[in-house]
């Protein structure tokens, strides 16, 4: 077999197949391989007219088809399947070759794999790919990690197949060393969870409090999508809400079981945030909301609990309330991104990645699930101040939050009075209020910890750590 392919893809399920087609459509000769050879032959038979493919039935044939330095993309399930593929192909590669993992791997696994393969002279490029199967085919947002050396021959190819932002910039950048790419993809997915939860809460409030039908709410979301909430998720929300189930004639959303599933990246985002000591309460609430939705027996047993029942507003009141929900949704969305970027910054500092937050926001402007118009403004904020401590420290976002906060609070008052759960909105507002508070109850918490565990505390009026002898004289000693 001749070495004619510039890149190869192994693992030809939907994402891998579409990524291979994307490379071929962009003029690259693509070696394709799958554990089940039938799938390889089917891809070439069905899509061979789209470009040049080299079908390989064995690992040796696949590697032999690749030009040096070999660029081998693996698109298999994260975890043990990924390790198995690496163990199969690594012995066939030579120093300078690279393995690109495009799956949703845990960044800690990516760091381990990169370290192990580096010892063999092989570049391991953990690469976050967002956009689903359509993005993989037509242009995803791509978040590659790994060495700068590996990005030199790989980057131009990724830039060519990536989504393009409205200004024409490719939605890909070298994120940073070892696991940086998969870390950023993980946080991207965490923000995605939060975004979807907030949209869901907005829908529920418009339905139960405003009294609107799904079709009417779809129209509201379409209007919102022409303004500052312009985003892919708002766009598809309108489509889902306007869809009518063909079998029953009911709104589609009313025939779907209300139990949301998850694949794990949102949960990882929260777990790692806890390890880093970063508050991502909005993302956490989104993860917990999906978890709660799945506890059908618990929810059934709790339906008789006391509480108010939603009562729809009149038409004029509903219109005012809908405008307030837009404000609450936008403000809460800013908080979700604020928390996500804080986690990326903390991870970058912890692992020495030196991630450019402005560049990350730039590559999320197209192709990915959370693509949104206001990412241009996030990029501008970080470009102007790379050391920006928080998006809420940016004058423009701070001004918008200030303008939204009264409506944000009124929405939560209405939700509480009407008994409609809005944990994402509430968590976002609590985070905002905690940040701007001059004093937090953490002072009392430290006093309690010192009382029962002699954990010490610091004082506002002098340096050092102190412990109170919690007896009759309450004497204090330096720790």
Which residue out of 42, 61, 185, 326 is catalytically annotated? 185
List of the chain residues with pLDDT < 50:
1
Q: Where are the alpha helices (DSSP H) in 35-179?
A: 37-47, 59-64, 80-89, 107-118, 132-138, 148-161
Q: What are phi and psi of 91, to 5 degrees?
A: -65, -15
307 a known binding residue? no
Looking at residue 3, what is its pLDDT?
62
Round to whole Å and give the CA distance between 467 and 457.
Answer: 6
Q: What are phi and psi of 364, to 5 degrees?
A: -90, 0
Strands 30-33 and 98-101, how do they pair? unpaired
Contact at 8 Å (CB) between 343 and 360?
A: no
104 a known binding residue? yes
263 a known binding residue? yes
193 a known binding residue? yes
Contact at 8 Å (CB) between 75 and 95?
A: no
Q: Which of 29, 127, 110 is nearest to 75 (CA)?
A: 127
The token pair at 255 is 């025939």
Q: Which residues contact 385 (CB under 8 A, 6 or more apart)?
A: 394
Contact at 8 Å (CB) between 390 and 342?
A: yes
The token pair at 298 is 């618990």
13 a known binding residue? yes
DSSP secondary structure of 377-390? HHHHHHHH-TT-S-
- Kindly report each contact of residues 376-380 with a partner whose C-beta sits within 8 Å and lies 24 or more positions away, as own/partner: 378/337, 378/341
Q: Which residues contact 84 (CB under 8 A, 6 or more apart)?
A: none
287 a known binding residue? no
Residue 96, number of CB atoms within 10 A of its CB: 14
25 a known binding residue? no
Structural domains of the chain, ranges and CATH numbers in brackets = 7-174 (3.40.50.720), 185-436 (1.10.1040.10), 441-478 (1.20.5.320)
Which residue out of 192, 285, 343, 400 is catalytically annotated? 192
398 a known binding residue? no
Q: Which of 431, 376, 440 is nearest to 198 (CA)?
A: 431
Q: Where are the beta strands (DSSP E) in 404-471?
A: 457-458, 465-468
Looking at residue 220, what is its pLDDT?
98
The token pair at 359 is 């560049």
Q: Which of 206, 229, 214, 202 is nearest to 317 (CA)?
A: 206
Q: Which residues contact 96 (CB under 8 A, 6 or more apart)?
A: 68, 69, 121, 122, 123
Q: What are phi and psi of 138, to 5 degrees?
A: -100, -10
Per-residue pLDDT tens for 377-432?
999 999 999 999 999 999 999 999 999 999 999 999 999 999 999 999 999 999 99
CA–CA distance from 275 to each of 271, 389, 442 (Å)? 6, 20, 19
- Kindly report each contact of residues 458-461 with a partner whose C-beta sits within 8 Å and lies 24 or more positions away, as own/partner: none
Looking at residue 264, what is its pLDDT?
82
CA–CA distance from 364 to each of 65, 128, 164, 317 (Å)? 33, 12, 10, 37
Residue 240, number of CB atoms within 10 A of its CB: 15
225 a known binding residue? no
Round to whole Å and give the CA distance between 195 and 364.
Answer: 14
Residue 365, number of CB atoms within 10 A of its CB: 24
**Could you give the dihedral angle defined by the CA atoms of residues 271, 276, 281 and 282, in that order, rounded to the nearest 10 degrees?**
-80
78 a known binding residue? yes
49 a known binding residue? no
The sheet that has 476-478: what strands, in order across it?
Answer: 457-458, 465-468, 476-478
Does the annotation mark 300 as catalytic? no
pTM: 0.95
The token pair at 121 is 């002279």
4 a known binding residue? no
Round to whole Å and give the CA distance between 363 and 184.
Answer: 11
Contact at 8 Å (CB) between 65 and 56?
A: yes
Does the annotation mark 333 as catalytic? no
340 a known binding residue? no
Contact at 8 Å (CB) between 367 and 139?
A: yes
Contact at 8 Å (CB) between 23 and 7?
A: yes
Looking at residue 476, what is its pLDDT?
74
Q: Where are the alpha helices (DSSP H) in 419-441?
A: 423-436
151 a known binding residue? no
Per-residue pLDDT tens for 195-204?
999 999 999 9
Looking at residue 2, what is its pLDDT?
56
164 a known binding residue? no
């Amino acid at each position: 077999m001749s070495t004619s392919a510039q890149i190869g893809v192994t693992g030809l399920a939907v994402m891998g197949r579409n990524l291979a087609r994307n490379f071929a459509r962009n003029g690259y000769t693509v070696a394709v391989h799958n554990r089940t050879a039938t799938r390889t032959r089917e891809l070439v038979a069905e899509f061979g007219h789209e470009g040049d493919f080299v079908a390989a039935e064995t690992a040796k044939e696949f590697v032999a088809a690749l030009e040096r330095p070999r660029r081998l993309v693996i698109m298999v399930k994260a975890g043990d399947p990924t390790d198995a593929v690496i163990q199969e192909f690594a012995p066939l590669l030579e120093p300078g070759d690279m393995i690109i993992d495009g799956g949703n791997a845990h960044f800690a696994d990516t760091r381990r794999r990169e370290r192990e393969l580096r010892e063999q002279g092989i570049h391991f490029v953990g690469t976050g790919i967002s956009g689903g199967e359509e993005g993989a085919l037509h242009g995803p947002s791509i978040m590659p990690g790994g060495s700068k050396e590996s990005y030199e021959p790989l980057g131009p190819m990724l830039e060519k197949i990536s989504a393009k932002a409205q200004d024409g910039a490719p939605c890909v950048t070298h994120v940073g060393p070892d696991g940086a790419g998969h870390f950023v993809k993980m946080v991207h997915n965490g923000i995605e969870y939060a975004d979807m939860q907030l949209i869901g809460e907005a829908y529920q409030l418009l339905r139960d409090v405003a009294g609107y039908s799904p079709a009417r709410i779809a129209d509201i979301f379409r209007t919102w999508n022409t303004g500052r909430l312009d985003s892919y998720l708002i766009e598809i929300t309108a489509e889902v809400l306007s869809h009518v189930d063909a079998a029953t004639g009911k709104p589609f959303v009313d025939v779907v079981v209300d139990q949301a599933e998850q694949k794990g990246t949102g949960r990882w985002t929260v777990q790692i945030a806890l390890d880093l000591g970063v508050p991502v309460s909005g993302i956490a609430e989104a993860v917990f909301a999906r978890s709660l939705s799945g506890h059908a027996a618990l929810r059934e047993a709790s339906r008789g609990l006391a509480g108010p029942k939603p009562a729809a507003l009149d038409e004029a009141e509903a219109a005012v309330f809908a405008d307030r929900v837009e404000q609450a949704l936008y403000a809460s969305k800013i908080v979700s991104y604020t928390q996500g970027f804080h986690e990326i910054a903390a991870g970058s500092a912890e692992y020495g990645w030196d991630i450019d937050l402005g560049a990350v926001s730039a590559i999320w402007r197209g192709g990915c699930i959370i693509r949104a118009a206001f990412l241009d403004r996030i990029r501008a904020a970080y470009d102007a101040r790379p050391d920006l401590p928080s998006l809420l420290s940016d004058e423009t976002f701070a001004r918008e939050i200030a303008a939204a906060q009264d409506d944000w609070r009124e929405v939560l008052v209405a939700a509480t009075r009407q008994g409609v759960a809005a944990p994402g909105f509430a968590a976002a507002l609590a985070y905002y209020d905690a940040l701007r508070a001059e004093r937090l109850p953490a002072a009392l918490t430290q006093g309690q910890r010192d009382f029962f565990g002699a954990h010490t505390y610091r004082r506002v009026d002098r340096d050092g750590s102190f412990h109170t002898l919690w007896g009759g004289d309450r004497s204090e000693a330096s720790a």
